[in-house]
Amino acid sequence: MITLGEFIVDKQDDFPEASGELTLLLGAIRLAAKVVNREINKAGIADIIGSTGVENVQGEVQQKMDLYANDKFKATIEARGEVCGIASEEEDEFICFDTERGRNSKYVILMDPLDGSSNIDVNVSVGTIFSIYKRTSPLGTPVQLEDFLQPGDKQVVAGYVVYGSSTMLVYTTGNGVHGFTCDPSLGVFYLSHENMQIPDNGSIYSINEGNYLKFPLGVKKYLKYCQEIDPPTNRPYTSRYIGSLVSDFHRNLLKGGIYMYPSTASAPKGKLRLLYECNPMAFLMEQAGGIALDGEKRIMEINPTELHQRIPFFCGSKNMVNDARLMLEEHGY
């Protein structure tokens, strides 16, 4: 059995200029994930369920666990000192680690510390999503906004942790997607899913169908296509939607499927965040042989303009996303 730590060290040579910083950074993420996991498992008996009553910059009410996860990841990553700054879905602005060590670190990290957190109250899986880039500003200076506003194609590492019936950490460095399952008795992540590949065809579609009337015509047409009876193409597809991106993504990655969060009449840019959610998931999806689009363009080619930018998101099995793309192109999205 190979542990996550052993695997990361073993793969360090994938980076020509590897100096061990990424290895330490992934180690920090692994540690914070274990701490957050321990806390999530106590939901119901510890006072961590429910909202804080405080809204984040995007006008969403923060859950107690959102803040806990945000603080743990921030503190653990800062303590390891391998990044010059961090941007989080839970923070209004990016955080600059303006110390000698921080200024001389070459990476930035962006994260959604606890995605789908309202699901905790009802004992449903949630996740952490992270994305690492090399800074573009000079070493030795404080991190700048531009360091965080890079297209997804520049990601060095992306991954997620799913706190589910078992806890898994899945990541890519651009050499395939690898999944590790935590043995709770030892607190060790073991390699359980090497080189994950999404099937080219699937039979699951995942979308919040309650918004149907607010969807663009192309999305409505594609949903009707998913529901048509046509056994040779596996249709009707099965509808599966947890409302927890990491869990929905993880299931579709393993089984084959399409995940959609389109624009709606009331949210013209959709709901998901380009930097904290869509880019890391797009990197993982492409590495697993799938596709991730905003409806038309590759997610990872989009030049971000702001930290909390939202974008419509369509991702999953190659043939399913291509079918959707044709309908969006023809009828609008």
Q: Which residues bind Mg ion (CB under 5 A)?
A: 112, 115
The partner in contact with residue 200, picked from ligand AHM, Mg ion, none with C-beta cut-offs of 5 to 8 angstroms by kind, is none
Instruction: Please tell me whether residue 117 binds ligand AHM under the rule CB under 6 A.
Output: yes
Report, in Å, the least distance between residue 171 CB and ligand AHM.
18
Residue 312 binds ligand AHM (CB under 6 A): no
Tell me which stretch binds ligand AHM (CB under 6 A): 24-32, 101-109, 112-120, 178-186: 112-120
117 binds, among Mg ion, ligand AHM, none (CB under 5 to 8 A by kind): ligand AHM
Q: Is 184 in the site for ligand AHM (CB under 6 A)?
A: no
CB nearer to Mg ion: give 115 or 286.
115
Q: Give me the least distance between CB of 121 and ligand AHM, in Å please.
A: 12
| HEC letters along the chain | CCEHHHHHHHHHHHCCCCCCHHHHHHHHHHHHHHHHHHHHCCECCECCCCEEEEECCCCCEEEHHHHHHHHHHHHHHHHHCCEEEEEECCCCCCEECCCHHHHCCCEEEEEEEEECHHHHHHCCCEEEEEEEEECCCCCCCCCCHHHHCCCHHHEEEEEEEEECCCEEEEEECCCCEEEEEEECCCCEEEEEECCCCCCCCCCEEECCHHHHHHCCHHHHHHHHHHHCCEHHHCECCEECCCCCHHHHHHHHHHHCCEEEECCCCCCCCCCCEHHHHHHHHHHHHHHCCCEEECCCCEHHHCCCCCCCCECCEEEECHHHHHHHHHHHHHHCC
Select the residue interacting with ligand AHM from 39, 78, 82, 115 (CB under 6 A): 115
In the bound state with ligand AHM, the residue whose beta carbon lies nearer, of 88 and 105, is 88
User: Segment 230-269, which members bind ligand AHM (CB under 6 A)?
Assistant: 243-245, 248
Shortest CB 67 distance to ligand AHM, Å: 13
Selected from 52, 137, 208, 234, the binder of ligand AHM by CB under 6 A is 208
**Residue closer to ligand AHM (CB basis): 66 or 82:** 66
What's the closest the beta carbon of residue 275 comes to ligand AHM, in angstroms? 12
Number of Cβ atoms within 10 Å of the Cβ of 134 = 14
User: Could you say which residues in the range 43-82 bind ligand AHM, by CB under 6 A?
Assistant: 60
Residue 243 interface partner, choices Mg ion, ligand AHM, none, CB cut-off 5-8 Å depending on type: ligand AHM
Q: Which residues bind ligand AHM (CB under 6 A)?
A: 60, 89, 112, 115-117, 208, 243-245, 248, 271
